[in-house]
């Protein structure tokens, strides 16, 4: 999986399961794998980059 596929997966995860919004990238590795969003564990750095992009889509959820 590359970053162009990971960002939509994170966006969908946040829209379906908003309780995961505040999880750290290392926590999301297992969540994405367990829920079937990725076929194998994706690197934490790639997830962190996608998380920053996805969080920008939800300004009301950004940290103050």
31 within 8 A of 23, measured Cβ to Cβ: yes
- Residue 59: HSE in the Cβ half-sphere, 13 Å Cα cutoff: 0
Range name among 13-17, 18-22, 46-50, 58-62 with the lowest pLDDT average: 58-62
Confidence of residue 41 (pLDDT cuts 50, 70, 90): confident
Each residue of 3-20: pLDDT tens digit?
A: 678 999 999 999 999 899
Each residue of 19-32: pLDDT tens digit?
A: 998 899 999 998 99
Whether 63 has a pLDDT exceeding 60, the answer reads no
Separation between Cα atoms, residue 42 and residue 64, nearest integer Å: 28
What are the boundaries of each domain within the chain?
Answer: 3-58
pLDDT of residue 55: 81
Q: Which residue has the tokens 């829920």?
A: 35
pLDDT of residue 38: 86
List the alpha helices (DSSP H) in the chain. 3-16, 25-34, 44-55
């Amino acid at each position: 999986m590359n970053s162009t596929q990971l960002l939509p997966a994170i966006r969908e995860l946040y829209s379906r399961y908003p309780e995961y919004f505040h999880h750290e990238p290392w926590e999301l590795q297992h969540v994405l794998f367990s829920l079937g969003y990725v076929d194998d564990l994706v690197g934490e750095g790639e997830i962190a980059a996608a998380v920053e992009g996805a969080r920008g889509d939800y300004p009301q959820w950004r940290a103050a």
